[in-house]
Amino acid sequence: SRLEENVKKTVADNPVVVYSKTWCSYSAEVKSLFKRLGVNPLVIELDELGPQGPQVQKVLERLTGQHTVPNVFIGGKHIGGCTDTVKLYRKGELETLLSEANVK
């Protein structure tokens, strides 16, 4: 579908992408973690996309198996949600992924 191609292009063209919801504290945690790391992700707030929001969330589920937010991509690779991202950060692996994507 066109929306699916759109999402694929977005994560391919942007080194760090966070699909988020503005009211969600888990989404806020991930965004603020990247900010602390000096990274400026492309943030897509699904609740600000009107009827397209749920559609994009469905596409993400098809592409990644994950239907929740936040949904994080680095270097085009699906990373996971908040817990996954924080886990990688604590293991030191997040910064590795970021430098491999030429972000840090």
Ligand X SMILES: N[C@@H](CCC(=O)N[C@@H](CS)C(=O)NCC(=O)O)C(=O)O
Residue with smaller CB distance to its own copies, 21 or 88: 21
Task: Find the binding residues for ligand X in span 19-48 (CB under 6 A).
Answer: 21, 23-26
Q: Which residues pair with 73 in a beta bridge?
A: 17, 78
Choose which of 2, 25, 36, 65 interacts with ligand FES (CB under 6 A). Answer: 25
Residue in the shown chain whose Cβ atom is closest to ligand X: 81
* Phi, psi (deg, nearest 5) at residue 50: 55, -140
Residue with smaller CB distance to its own copies, 17 or 24: 24
Q: Are the CB atoms for 69 and 48 separated by under 8 Å?
A: no
The answer to the question of residue 24 lying near its own copies (CB under 8 A) is yes
The answer to the question of residue 102 lying near its own copies (CB under 8 A) is no
Task: Find the binding residues for its own copies in span 71-90 (CB under 8 A).
Answer: 82
Rounded to whole angstroms, the Cα distance separating 59 from 93 reads 27
Give CA separation, 32 vs 18, 51, 73, in Å: 11, 27, 15
Rule CB under 8 A: which residues touch its own copies? 24-26, 82
